[in-house]
Each structure stands twice: as C-alpha cells, then as structure tokens.
Structure 1
Amino acid sequence: MTQKTDFYNNNPLIHKDRRLGQSPSAWVRSFSCEDLCPLIVCRGPIRKEAMDVYTEMGITHFGILLSEKDSIVYPNALSPELRQLTDTRRVHRVPDYSGASKEERLERIQQIIDIALDNGYNAVFSGYGFMAEDDEFVAALENAGLLFIGPCSRTQQAAGKKDEAKRTALQVNVSVTPGIDNVTARTLLKKHKTFDQLVALAKAEDLKIDKKVLNNKKIPLEDLADMILFASYDKGIDLFSIEELCVQIEQECAEMFRNYPGARIRLKAIGGGGGKGQRILGASLLTSKNPSDKQIHEAAADAPGLVREILNEVKTNGIGDNKNILIELNIEQTRHNEIQLLGNGQWSIALGGRDCSLQMHEQKLLETSVTQEGLQREIEKAKQAKLKEQQQALEADLEVLKRMEAESERFGEAVGLDSASTFECIVDGNRHYFMEVNTRIQVEHRVTELVYSLKFVNPEDENDFFIVESLVEAMALLAQHKQRLPRPVRIPRFGAGAEARLNATDCSLSPSAGGYIHYWSKPIEGEIRDDQGICTLNPDTNHFMNYHLAGAYDSNIALLLTKGEDRESSYHKLSEVLRSTVLRGSNLATNLEFHYGLVNWFIGNNIMAKPTTRFVVPYLTLVGKLKEEAQKIEIVYAFMVMKKNYAKLYAGNPEAANAVSETLDRKGTLLTRPIEILLNDPHLLSGWLSLNRTKFKFENNRIVWICNPLIILEETYEYLHMTWRDQAPSTEIIWTHDRDLLNDALAFYAELQEKFAISKKDYIQLNDILLNDTPQGGYDADTWAKIQEAHVGYEIGNELLGLLCMIAEKTNFYDFKVEENLEVTIPEYLHDAELQAAMKKVLVPPPATKADEVVTPGGGMYYAQEAPGLPPFVTEGMHFDKGQPLFILEVMKMFNKVPAPFAGTIDKIIIEGGDGTIVKKGQPLFKVTPDEKFVEIDPKKLAIQRQTITKEYLKAIL
C-alpha cells in the first residue's frame, strides 16, 4: 500500500503495508487476515493477483485449483503460480472448473468443498469467472462452514440473478430498462390460467410451498407462478417445455416490437455474464417506424432459435434448470457505464465509474475511469477553452454519474451487499438505465484501484486508520471481518486510469485460440501489466518459456493498464505501452495493433469522446475499407514512377536531373519503409491518419501540407516504434543513413523556424518564405540560393506520404468523427451487415481451401447441431444456401454459428468425432460441390491492376 502524503508517512498509527497484524495500532491489528486460509478457484491474471495480495497480507496457507484445460498446465508453459507454490500439496487439479453440464457442475461444487475441508482451507475465492456468481455454489460453501470471499448467497440470489435484481431495482427507485423479467411465469400461466389451477399444480407435483401462500388469493398470479417455479427448481422438475417457453417469448417479442417500433430487442439469460447468454433480434425493423404485422412476425420468429442458443450457452437447458430469460428493449446508441460497489451488509459505497462502451460481442476491449473529480477537471478545461458544447456534455455526464452512484449505493444496501460488486448501466444522453449487477470483482477492477483508495478510520480516533488500495484485499477483509469494518472514505489517487484487454483475437477481433507465445518484451516504465506471469523469464535459464494459449475459457492474455493526471495523459501512456510491446509466437494472433490504432484514433479526435456500444463494429468495417484501398497501392512502384516523373521534369537540365535522381535514391528507404508498414497494417494506418488529420488539407483535389512532411515523417518513425535504439534489430528501426539524413533535414528547418520565428506546425508560411526569389531574413543572395536548393532537396519525394492521405480521402475516413458535443458520428453505411461481413473477410481472409471443401475459420470446439436432441445443421446429400448455418464453433466459451461462404451440396462429412471435437483453423470438415465454379484471379493481372491504380493515386500528389 503506497502512502501519498507526508502526513501518512509521519503518522505511526497508519498501517504502511498489507500486514495489518504488524501495525502499532491495536485497532488496525484487529483486522488482520492472517488466519484466513483461502482456496483460489479461478484462472488467469486474477489468480496470480490473489496469490500476490494474500502473500503480502501475511496469509501463509492458501492453495490453487487447476483445470486440465488451463493454459498453465500445458507443456513448456512457465507458471509463476506453480513456482510460487513449491508445496505441491497446495495445488489441486480437476478436469474442468465448473463442469460441462448441470450434473458435472454439482459434482465439481462438492469436489471443491471436499478439497477445502480435507486440506485445511477455511475460505474460497473464485475471482471473476466460473462460479463467482453462482448462488448455489456460495450457499453450498456456507452450509459446509466455509467463507466465500465475495457476496453471500443471499446477495447473489437478490442481485446476481438478473430478473431478481431488476425487481429489487424497481423497489428502491432505480431506473431500469423497459422489458419483461418473468417470461417463465407467463409461460406457466398460459398452461394454468387461474389461481385454483396453479394451486392444484403445486399440490399435484408435491412442491414445497408455504400453505399460507397457497391459501392467499390476493397474491398476484404472476408472483404465485414465480413461487411455484422456484419450488420446481428445488425439486429438479420442469413445469413446461423449452418449446412452450420459445412460443411465449416469440409472442412477447412481437408485442414489444409493436410497442417500440424501430427498435431491437435484447434476450438475456438471468445467469449469464461476460457477454455470454445474450442475443439481439429485430435488425430488420431498425429502419421501420411503422412495421407491418408480417414484418413483426418475421422478426419475432427468430426468437426461438436464439432462446435455444442462450440456454445452451449458459448450460440451463437441463431438467429443473431456471430457464428465465429477460426480454428487454435494446437501447441502440448507448454507452456502457458501470459503478464499482463495495459493502459490508450494512453500508455500501460507490467507488466511481468505468466507461466500458468499447466492446464487441458483449466483450469489453478498452475501459477508462469515470470519476466526479476527473469530470470536474475536464469541465474546467472546456470552460477555459470556451468549448461550450463540450462543457455542457461533460456537465451532463457528471450529473448522470452522481445519480448512478447514489442509485448503486441504495441498491447495494437493499440487497445486503457484503463484498465487491459492479452496478452496470446503459447511458443514453442525459438518461441512464440499470442493466444488471455483477456480484463479483470485475476484470477491469484495477481501473478503479488507480483512481481511488479506501481509508478505514477508527470511529473512536480519526488519526487511527489504514489505507487499502486493492479490491482483492478489501474482499478478504470483508469476508473475515464483515460488519466490524466501518464505512471507508474514498481517497482520490491518480487522476485517470485506462485498461486495454490484450486478447488472442485476429485483426477482425474474432477469437484465435491455440497459438504459442515465444517472446514478450519487458514492461516499460509506467506500464502495469497483469499477465499471469506469462512474460516472466525462466529463472533457471533466463529464457522465455513458450506459452500455449489453449483457449478453453476465454481469449484474454493480459490486462495492460496505465494511469495519468487526466484521461489524455493516461491515453498517451497507453499508446506508448502498446507501441513498445513486442509479441512473437507461432500461430499467434492478438488485438495489439487494433488497440494501438484505436487509442490513437481517440488521441487524434478527442479523448473525451462518447463512443457507444455500437462503435467497434463499424470502426472495424472502416478499417477494413482502409485495408481494401491500401492493398491497391504498390509503394516501390510508386517510388519508381515518381523518379521517372522528376526525370521528365528536369529533362532539359541533365545536371539537375542527376542531382534529383541521387537525392531520391538516398531518400528511397527513408520514405518507403514506414509507408509500406502502414499500407500493410490497416489498424496502424487508422491511428496514423487520426493523429495527422489536421496536418494536411485538400485544395483542388491536391494535397497541401500544413505541417512539414519531414516532421510528420519523424513522428511516423516514432509512431511505428522505429526510432533508433541501441542493439535493436535493423529490421525494426530506422537505418543509420536514413536517420542521419532525417536529422540533418530537421536541424535545417529548426534553424529556419527559429530565424523566422515560425512554429514548426506552420509549414505553409515557411514554405511561402522559402519560395521567395528575394533573399529573406537578412541572408545574402548566395546563401539564400543554397537555402532554397537545400529546401528542394530535403522536400523532394516527400509527396509519397500523400498516398496515405489519399486513402483517407478515398474511403471517407474522416467522416467517422467526434462532434463538438463529444458524440461520435458514424456514417450510416458502416452499419450495413453485408459490408461489415465483407470487410471482416478483407481484414482476415478465410483460410486457404480447395474449391470442393468447407474448412473451419478458426480453432475451437465443433458442434454439428444447435442443442442436444436437435437435428444437425447439415447432412450428407443436403443442399445449403449461402449464409445458412453449417455448424457451431465454440471458442473461449462463446458459441458461434458458422455460415456457409457459398451455396452448394454436402457430398461427405469428413470431420472425425462428434460434438465437442477440437478442430484447428483451416481444418476440412465437409466435401462439397459448389453451385458455382470459383474463378481464380491471375496474379499478373492483379499486379497490373495495382500499378494502374497506383498511377491514378500519384496524379494527386505529383
């Protein structure tokens, strides 16, 4: 725990590390957790973090649970966890953390309890995955006399189940999303319509329900139906079929489409999390303000299939499972904000917010802190800069944040929150709606830890207190001491925090499991890297160990965090971290470049922008268009054409022509190397174009540089992490002769800028001066002529940078922008589903295949049918249409229907093994006969096309 002021450091009563038992204060010592003996039942960075925090707290007896599917158990994987726990008796192994079915899950719960009791553990910590939000698991632990380091089972039931949480929210005046939270009760009422029929059902099934309830005809029928359903779950029976549930949900969706024309509907499992168990339907109605009954029924007809997917994904399709699904209005242009909560069962405290809007498929990608102090600072900046619309937008955000924090504390107290949880909301302009509560610590919890610490004060002595800066530690304290802990005071730490999730995904953000990491550069100063110790060198050999990204659970590799005095400085630091990170491996794909381009998009536009949850997919589509256009340009060919153009220009002056040719030859690699890298990586190009959006303009279809292109070139080398570094491979940095040439040019212009008192950003004014035939600045004629000659030499060839700007112009890149009120304008065409699918293939072309085969687009687990008991998607001899689902690929616990890339007929199913078979990217699954023959493009014709288009581009810059 780091102390921040001299008062802290000079006060002997203040606890200065995590070992509360060693404090000079008796009151502080009373909160020691050294008797806590936790079994850590989670994976990834949070497991390593918990081990480190517990060690620092003086907790000496803890153990870890490992699944045989966990990456760290694979051969050649260095595991700091296993090195840290040299006592192998504290490492316990299971086939899978939570089991693949209800039966396996119950078996695993008992197994975990037995492991804890047999090995001297008195508590269980399950982090942010698997059973962290399982009220049955928590109740079983409590019944076995074990502490759960997290919210108790009562809170889990009241807040963790989305339907119960929504009802509680309504009771304590929390704004909720319009929708239906009891569709299972309504399904039951379709079969048993009256009070007497429901009571008869309860008696016939011998359900355990209080007789007073069954005799009270004043109870609303839907409430009684709910009580009967909960009793049926306890008994392990079903009172209706999945088909009947699907029919009811389809009818409810149709009614919602009528009530909210032009909107989509979100279906959400009550026990889902991390994006699992959620589907959206009604895309066809988005643009229809007055849909017909036929359109409504067609849209609602998709619901049954989505319901089955949801139940299958969250594994609640078994007999006796609670199959309730929330049916909610999908607020389209929304931001996803969440409030970090902490409570002890009596008090509840909000610790600011996090903006998690930048996500895809409900999976968060980039998260930033949102605090009252931070927003107030930004409001003052906007006021001083006279940015009225930005100021008003930030003031609105501040008011929304205050309301969300107040509501979250009311909710926490209503459900008896006694640990860490997250109150999640969607924000729509000046309004917000409660969405759900995650009754666990979040992946992004460190973002909050960077902006707030907790001060626990002795009620009898305000000078006697201790500081907690870790939510993992706070959870342990609450588990051990609960209601003895006084309500803390939140203390601002750093001004802002940001986190990028480094995931095993390809350039289109599709999961890419199964690769190996062979090398990872060391963290730079100011970088906070939660990576489970993957980048740790083997202490015996000092070599990096291969790390297998098995991908059985999720795609996360690491959490990269930065802090700053404000969001802008935290983003700049995050950009530096991403730029400096080097990852190498085999069959390895990550979203590192995506993050780097995205962070710099915001730096180049406005870091206080308000992106919605619909930002990432159209942004990726635009990046796909950048790649599609960039692939048309051949940079080396462009350079040669430019040389020929200058040769023609100086044809009448052989001496000048030779000089120009020699100059261009010297500048060849200086110019073409960084441009080629940008052309080959659209994510890097997106960031570069964003950072340089104000440094050029178009006049009469030609590029005019506002900033000296040589300065832009210098910044480009820095942006690409290609500046000179000792002992760095020459392939990764600027070459020596190019560095010397660039430095000479920059020194030349720096001297002139100082001479004429011109900013380096004002290139137009300097260029106008240098074009003047009359000597300027007191220079004599000879010196002035040499200056002009040097200027021509240094600037010649820099036109090639304009090719990148032309790509922005061709793709309308800058139409995707941040307005003065901080809203993000996304061109409507980027929401087109067909374009999105096409650009996804541009970003990541499908694996090479034969014309008569269908292969897997990535690695994962293969399923031939939508759910157990249902027919397979395809059979031998069956004809399929383009876009028709062929199979399901489960990757990182997410179920993805894979559509047919073309129409054809299944000749033979060649995959060996049934459902659950592991497949690799590009593995053939079916032999097929396509409806149409594929025509391969002649490489020579393609090269000619690229050269022709390159010449067209050059017309605007030469």
Structure 2
Amino acid sequence: MFNKILIANRGEIAVRIMATCADLGIKTVAVYSAADSESLHVRRADEAVNLGDGPSSENYLNIPAIIDAALKTGAEAIHPGYGFLAENAEFARAVAAAGLVFIGPSGDAISAMGEKVTARELAVAAEVPLAPGSNGAIEGAEQVLAFGEEHGYPVLVKASHGGGGRGMRRINSADEAAEAVAAAEREAAAAFGNSEIYLERYLTNARHVEVQVFADTHGNAVYFGDRDCSVQRRHQKLIEEAPAPGLSEKMRKGMGEAAVRLARRVGYVGAGTVEFLVEGEKFYFLEMNTRIQVEHPVTELVQGLDLIAEQIRVAAGQPLSVTESGLPPRGAAIEARINAEDINGGRFVPTPGKITALKVPSQPGLRFDTGFEAGDEVLPYYDSLIGKLIAWGPDRESAINRLSRALDELDIQGVKTTAPAAKLVLEHEDFRATRFNTLWLESTVEFPDVTVEDEDEDDEGDELLARNEVEVGGRFYAIPYFTEAVPGAPVAAGAAPAEAPTNGGAGRPRTGGGRRKAKKAFDGTVKAPMQGTIVQIKVSAGQQVSAGDLLFVQEAMKMENPITAPADGTVGEILVGLGESLAAGAALTTLELEKVNA
C-alpha cells in the first residue's frame, strides 16, 4: 500500500479521495491554482502545492507541474479523480514514466476508450450492441446530411475525445447541420483540446443506464451493478440512482456481461463505467468512462463497497476485495447533484459566489459529498458542482422519500442551487412510476418563472426577470424577458405569479432565496448575465435584429450561454472582444429600440 498520494484534482472529488486515504492511513498532497488557495481540498490535505495563477491549462492541466509536485513531496502515486486529466492518456503515461503509480487504467486503455470512434470499434469486436453511427470521425456538415438521409433525424454529433455533454449537439433537421457541427467542434476543442467529432443516431425514447466495472492485475474483471442517470439537462446529469429501476434481470445480466467483455478486450485495470442507452428490452453501447464517476456513491451504498479504496488497492497491485460479478444490491440509493445554478424558468444558469451558509441534515441513510463549507466561494472558472446529496433506503420508494425530505432541510445560502429542481423531479409522478427518458426533464418538467432575488439592491442583473426555454442547434437555452413593458419585447406566456414557490410547492429547499423586488425596465444596454468568457460575437454595429436573435455566446463554468436581443432594434457599438473575460453586468453593446406607433 502507498504511504502518500497526490490528488490531481479539486473540489468535491478531491475531498472524497482524501477521506478514503485517511481511512487507509495514507497521507495526501493537494494541488491547487492561486484562485483555489482557500478551498476546502487545500485545507483537508496533509500537504498542498500551489501550481500558480492563470487558467486551468496552467495549473490543473499542467502535467509537468503536477508530476514535479508529486516527486518533490515524496508522493508514490497520483489519483486523478474525475475531470481535468482523469482521462488523459498522456498524463497516465507521464506519471508511469516518472516512476510513479497512476491510480487508473493504462494510457493505452484510456486512449482506446477515450477516442470514441476507436471505442465503438472495440465494442463491435467485444460483441457489445451499438446504435447506428458514423464509420469514424466526420469532417463536415455534408456527412451529417448523408447520415440523416440514410438513418433519419434526430442525429447526435459528439466529441471523439471527451464526454459529459461537451461537444455534443442534437440535430433535428438538415438545416441545423452546419451550425451544430461548427458549435460541437468549437466546444470539443475548448473542452478536450481536440475538435474531432462523430455521429450517432439519436434515440428519442431511451434511458441512460451505466454499469460499474472493475478489473485488477490478478485476472479478475467484474461488474458491480448498474445505475440510472436519465434525468439530465443539457446532457448533464441531475439525479442518479442504483439499481436502475424497472429492468429485467436478463437485461441487467446482459449489460453487465457486455461491459466486462469490453473491459477485458481492452486489457482494462481499475475502475471504469460502461454507459448504455436502453429502449425496451434492447441496450446499445454509448461510451466507456475510464475513471471513477461522479455518481459512484449510489453504487457504494447498495454494494457496501468503497470504490476509491478499491482503486487504490488495485493500483498497489492487490486483488479486488470482491471478485464475483452481479452481486444483488442491498436496497436502493439515489443521488441529487447540488450545483450552483439558477433553475428559474428551467434555465440552469451558473451562479458563482460565496456560500454564506451550508447546513446539511444529518440522519441515518444520508450522505453529503462536498468540496465546500460555509464561507467558501464557488468560483466561476470551474464547474458548478457544490456537492451530492445521497440517500439510501431498503427500497426505491423509501430512498426517494428520504432524499426528498433531506432536500427540504438542506440549507445553502449565498448562491442559488439545483436543489429545488431535484425536489421537483423526486415528487413528479412520472419519476416515481419510472416513466422517464433522457429527454424527460427538459420536455416534461415545468420550472416556474418567479422573481426571487438576493437582498443586494445593486444587483447589476436587476432587469432580468425570467427566461423562456428554447432549443438552439440541438441544445436547450433560456431567453430572458423583462418585467416592464418594452416596445417589441417578447411576452412571457404563462409566467407564474411572483408568490409562486421556486420548487412548485413541494417543500422549499432553502437555497439562496431572498426577498422579491420590483425590476427595472430595459435601459438599452445589453449586459453579461454572469461572469464568463465571450466565445462568439454574432452581430456587428448597425445590424438590425429581432427579439430573440442571438447576439453573443458566453461560456461560464463549462457551459455555453447565449445572450439574445430582448427586443427589435439596431445594434450599437460592440464593447467586447472575442475571448474576453467579463464580470457579471459588463456592457456588451447597446440596442436602439424600434419605435412603436401609437
């Protein structure tokens, strides 16, 4: 076993790994950016190394700096967590070349399964069912048109070198192809350093079910049950549960055995997740994640395992503690991701800021994995996850009820969170009856439009009331509208009254609410709704635009957010540059509104 491990990550997963290391008597080393110097994972580690200022590419993604930190602190192994370098084959190889142990699969396995086109080829060789897809990467919209002509729409374009919804676009018709391909390539390049994309037939009534696999160096390869991760927005998971409800035992066994065949085919060692799309009694290979998953706690609770400990044991050359596949789950577990996002109107807009209060209910069967304490700041440079609230119960219904009550008692102040959205899902009759798919949350669940603002009177985003959800290029976005009459401004159909609760009345998690107040009329200045980087400028000075036209795209906390025209008018001077990082409320341009005849 190791004496000291460096954790090449931050936030919740870094703190989670440190907890297991402490249980095993292993010292930990944290790495951090200058912006993260006060973060919880830095405080919890036995040692911490500052990797410097700047963007993630200069610290959390800086392979030489991370390896140097491990060598200088005497760490024997590096755990990558998830995200950042966790699925980077170059990093795994560099760690091994430095004489250190990478707590994960080999660089070759990461490369094979991380390159999605190669992974599909391996799946075919391992006799794992596949949905129709392109034969390799595509080079332009023309190939989308040909694929759509053969297989029909909708079609998905996906990043070849990553996952998590980055670089993914749904194309509903031929006229969306060019813009969707360009957007997917741009986002894939920004997220993974490679713009290569490929195609898959989009299944419109599928559930997202994944299988936890594990393999060691002693010839053992097993699966530890399955999870359902179908409740998603923008291809990002909100609710996960184990075991996946409503599946036949034949299907569970079939998916598990297929996942193990794939792991053996690639010579896999360590923890991995094989993801499937499920329709009826058929399942299709989606991808394999060569790391620990965000949602691993639900598997831990129903299998009675510490999956981080298993990773460490396997990396140290020890056999798995459980070498039998398909052990029956003990009860059911369900997890809600608590992100710093404003769900108002279904928009899920990132809300970085300081957490002024964080109180979590403490009762049997509950667990909260987090990277924050009260007083910590959710930074705009990284993803928006605050933590995961997980409940166990002897059956699915009791686990859901326990998590629902816990969400009522969860108290997070200072930033808005996704807790009310999770509450809405848990209390929805479709969810309780297992009538959902990957499109269900965005197409069925209604998120009220209400005005609930912080006490701060000089909120620069004051004029925004709520947003209508629209689909642009195969992804769902939210369009702002305004509280007072603006000539030519869109009217919010069916907006909820101001007194409506933020979670549909099913108990109100206290997550950064505040008093309601009147809003200002649009003053002609188009402003950045949040802190972030301008990644597209779609208009020029003097251009005529209509209400709802796309003006800018701003990236914040790993999500692209469109900024649209609130009314018909003429664009004034463009006040920002491409790639410029802005504070919330920064002026982007002005809009001279069209006159409306009396």
- TM-score of the alignment, normalized to the shorter chain, above 0.5: yes
Map of 1:67 onto structure 2? 33
1:40 is aligned to 7
The answer to whether the Cα contact below 8 Å between 2:421 and 2:447 also exists between their aligned partners in 1 is no
Match of residue 228 from structure 2: 355
Runs (4+) of structure 1 moved beyond 4 Å?
Answer: 482-486, 488-493, 676-679, 719-722, 844-849, 932-935
Q: Letter of the aligned partner of 1:305 in structure 2?
A: A
- Are 2:581 and 1:917 equivalent residues in the alignment? yes
Q: Please name the residue that 1:93 is paired with.
A: 51
Correspondences of 1:521-920 after superposition (within 5 Å): 521-526=359-364, 528-532=366-370, 534-535=372-373, 545-585=374-414, 588-602=415-429, 607-620=432-445, 622-624=446-448, 679-685=499-505, 687=506, 719=507, 848=520, 850-856=522-528, 858-863=529-534, 865=536, 872-911=537-576, 915-920=579-584
* Aligned residue number for residue 668 of structure 1: none
Residues in 1 aligned to 2:531 and 2:523: alpha-carbon distance in whole angstroms? 23
CA drift at 1:556: 0.8
Deviation at 1:313, TM superposition (A): 3.1
Indicate how the Cα distance of structure 1 residues 855 and 171 shifts in structure 2: closer, same or farther if over 3 A, else same: same
Question: 2:590 aligned to 905, 923, 927, which one?
Answer: 927
Using a 3 Å threshold, how does the CA distance of structure 1 residues 928 and 113 change in structure 2: closer, same or farther?
Answer: same
The runs of 5 or more residues in structure 2 that have no matched partner are: 452-495
Residue 315 (structure 1) shift: 4.6
The 1:855/1:486 distance shift into structure 2, 3 A limit, reads closer
Native 8 Å contact 1:562 1:573 kept in 2: yes
Q: 1:310 aligns with which of 168, 187, 194?
A: 187
Contact 2:502 2:508 in 1 (8 A): no
Deviation at 1:166, TM superposition (A): 0.6
Q: Report the CA distance shift for 1:678/1:354 in structure 2 as closer, same or farther (over 3 A).
A: farther
Equivalent residue letter for 1:530? F
Q: Distance in 2 between matches of 1:143 and 1:114?
A: 12
Distance of aligned partners of 1:606 and 1:152 in 2 relative to their CA distance in 1, 3 Å threshold? closer
The equivalent residue for 2:339 is 503
In structure 2, distance between residues paired with 1:853 and 1:902? 11
Alpha-carbon distance change, 489 to 428 in structure 1, aligned in 2, over 3 angstroms: closer
Matches within 5 A, 1:52-451: 52-60=19-27, 62-70=28-36, 73-74=37-38, 79=40, 81-85=41-45, 87=47, 90-95=48-53, 98-99=56-57, 108-183=62-137, 245-246=139-140, 250-261=141-152, 263-282=153-172, 285=173, 296=174, 298-316=175-193, 321=194, 323-345=195-217, 346-370=219-243, 394=246, 397-451=248-302
Tell me how far apart the structure 2 counterparts of residues 347 and 118 of structure 1 sit (CA, whole Å).
34
Contact conserved, 1:904 with 1:930, CA < 8 A, in 2?
yes
Q: How does 1:936-947 map to 2 (within 5 A)?
A: none
Contact 1:366/1:500 (8 A) holds in 2: yes
Does the 8 Å contact 1:511/1:892 carry over to 2?
no
Alignment-derived partner of residue 765 in structure 1: none
1:299 Cα deviation after fit: 3.8
* Residue 916 of structure 1, CA deviation: 3.4
**Contact map agreement 1:270 1:324 (CA 8 A) in 2:** yes
Structure-2 change in CA distance of 1:561 and 1:934 (3 Å)? farther
If each structure's helix is expressed as a fraction of its own residues, which one has the higher value? Answer: 1
Q: CA deviation at 1:338?
A: 0.5
CA distance in 2, matches of 1:595, 1:490: 29
Which AA in structure 1 matches 2:224?
L
State the Cα deviation string for residues 589-634 of structure 1 (Å, max 9, x = none).
Answer: 11122211221114xx5624131111111234x3448x79xxxxxx
**Letter of the structure 2 residue corresponding to residue 924 of structure 1:** A
2:491 equivalent in structure 1:
none
- Alpha-carbon spacing, 1:115–1:908, altered in 2? closer, same or farther (3 Å): same
> What is the CA distance between 1:135 and its match in structure 2?
0.8
What amino acid sits opposite 1:46 in the alignment?
I
Between the aligned partners of 2:547 and 2:509, the Cα distance in structure 1 is: 43
Return the letter of the residue paired with 1:931: E
SS at match of 2:262: helix
- Looking at structure 1, the residues matched to 196 and 350 of structure 2 have their Cα atoms a distance apart, in angstroms, of 32
Please state whether the residue corresponding to 2:144 is helix, strand or coil: helix
Deviations 1:770-824 (A, max 9, x none): xxxxxxxxxxxxxxxxxxxxxxxxxxxxxxxxxxxxxxxxxxxxxxxxxxxxxxx
**Offset at 1:264?**
0.9
Measured in 2, the distance between the counterparts of 1:623 and 1:46 equals: 29
Change (3 A) 1:933 1:853: farther
One-letter amino acid of the structure 2 residue matched with residue 430 of structure 1: E
Cα 1:877/1:533, change in 2 over 3 Å: closer
Q: Deviation of residue 567 (structure 1)?
A: 0.4
Mark the structure with the bigger radius of gyration.
Answer: 1
- Judged with a 3 Å threshold, the aligned counterparts in structure 2 of structure 1 residues 270 and 524 are, in CA distance, closer, same or farther, namely same
1:265 maps to amino acid: V
d(CA) in 2 for partners of 1:566 and 1:308?
Answer: 43
Structure 1 residues 170 and 556, CA, compared in 2 at 3 Å: closer, same or farther?
A: same
Partner of 1:27: none
Separation in structure 1 between the aligned mates of residue 501 and residue 43 of structure 2, nearest angstrom: 39
Distance 1:265 1:175 in 2: 18
CA deviations on 1:852-911 (whole Å, 9 max, x unpaired) are 12122x31323153xxxxxx4223233334433322211111223333333322222334
Distance 1:484 1:529 in 2: 25
Q: Check conservation: 2:129, 2:283, Cα contact below 8 A.
A: yes
For 1:864 and 1:490, how far apart are their aligned partners in 2?
46
| 8 A contact 2:213–2:272 mirrored in 1 | yes
1:388 counterpart residue number: none
Task: Name the one with the larger strand percent.
Answer: 2
SS in 2 for 1:680: coil
How far did residue 485 of structure 1 move? 7.2
